[in-house]
């Protein structure tokens, strides 16, 4: 385990997939909900964002998704400024966001269809990505016929079939029971090893962040505290691929992050 510099601006990456430079957001004419957000994410990296409710974690994801505009600063994806939604960003929501009237395969096919890809290519993408999440056998079922964990796997397959530059995940496993959540964490790690997608992942669970992330960003502040949400500290997680949540290294890092999350100021 090692800890990076306190100041995120000291983290230097040259070929970032995703970059936030001094980004701030005001909703309407109100005060800044978050400000001074600097973060560079390398291709293939999984960065988790943790922090108290209201510090602006979802706002960060929604701005990179293009669902919300940023009020100041710059956000780039593969070097290009972000201003509106696009297929190069895939969003995985806590409540899955599948279309209930479409079958599993049709949900996954949606993005490639919107891109105008030929039918045979679309079919390949659907099969490939349903296999990736272990759901080939339920391709003709509908979302309501699946468990929560299976629906979230379909949502991940749907995003990845679009070959996004970055997958944005907002509390993706927050609605799942503890066992399923653990299984999904392990599946996500496997999927990342297979496809190497860049991921920005918001979670309330510090344990989940330490299990999954290459780096953990701690945000603090927020409108309810009278100061804009901002990055407090960034931790590198160098625990290897197979992480044991009961190991001393794991629990030490979890405790350090928890102290930072709960620290005042």
Q: Which residues bind ligand ATP (CB under 6 A)?
A: 27, 33, 51, 53-59, 222-223
Radius of gyration for the chain, computed over Cα atoms and rounded to the nearest angstrom: 18
- The least CB distance from residue 81 to ligand ATP, in Å, is 21
Question: Rounded to the nearest whole angstrom, what is the least distance from the CB of residue 135 to ligand ATP in the complex?
Answer: 28
Residue 128 or 258 having the CB closest to ligand ATP = 258
Handedness of CA 62, 201, 94, 89 (dihedral sign): positive
- Look at the block and give the residue holding tokens 């108290």: 52
Cβ closer to ligand ATP: 83 or 238?
83
Distance in Å, CB of 54 to ligand ATP, minimum: 4
How far is Cα 253 from Cα 225, in angstroms, rounded to an integer?
A: 26
The end-to-end CA distance of the chain, in Å, is 25
> CB 51 → ligand ATP: shortest distance, Å?
6
Rounded Cα–Cα distance for residues 83 and 38 (Å): 17
| CA 66, 18, 112, 154 torsion-angle sign | negative
Give 49 or 155: the residue with its C-beta nearer to ligand ATP.
Answer: 49
172 vs 222, beta carbon nearer ligand ATP = 222
Q: What are 76's strand-pairing partners?
A: 19, 81
- What is the CB neighbour count within 10 angstroms for residue 48? 27
CB of 260 to ligand ATP, least distance (A): 15
């Amino acid at each position: 385990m090692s800890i990076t510099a306190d100041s995120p601006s000291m983290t230097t990456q040259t070929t970032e997939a995703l970059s936030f430079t001094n980004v701030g957001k005001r909703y309407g004419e109100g005060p800044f909900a978050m400000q001074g957000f600097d973060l560079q994410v390398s291709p293939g990296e999984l960065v988790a964002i943790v922090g108290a409710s209201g510090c602006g974690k979802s706002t960060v994801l929604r701005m990179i998704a293009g669902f919300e505009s940023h009020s100041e600063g710059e956000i780039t994806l593969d070097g290009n400024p972000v201003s509106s939604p696009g297929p190069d960003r895939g969003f995985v929501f806590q409540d899955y966001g599948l279309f209930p009237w479409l079958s599993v395969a049709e949900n996954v096919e949606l993005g490639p269809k919107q891109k105008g890809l030929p039918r045979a290519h679309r079919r390949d993408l659907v099969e490939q990505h349903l296999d990736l999440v272990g759901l080939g056998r339920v391709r003709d079922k509908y979302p309501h016929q699946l468990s929560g964990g299976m629906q979230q796997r379909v949502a991940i397959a749907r995003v990845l079939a679009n070959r996004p530059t970055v997958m944005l995940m907002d509390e993706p496993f927050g609605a799942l029971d503890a066992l399923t959540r653990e299984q999904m964490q392990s599946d996500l790690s496997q999927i990342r090893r297979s496809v190497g997608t860049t991921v920005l992942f918001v979670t309330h669970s510090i344990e989940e962040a330490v299990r999954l992330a290459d780096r953990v960003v701690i945000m603090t502040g927020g409108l309810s505290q009278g100061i804009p949400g901002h990055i407090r500290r960034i931790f590198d997680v160098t625990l290897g691929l197979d992480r044991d949540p009961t190991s001393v290294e794991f629990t030490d890092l979890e405790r350090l992050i928890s102290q930072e999350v709960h620290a005042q100021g």
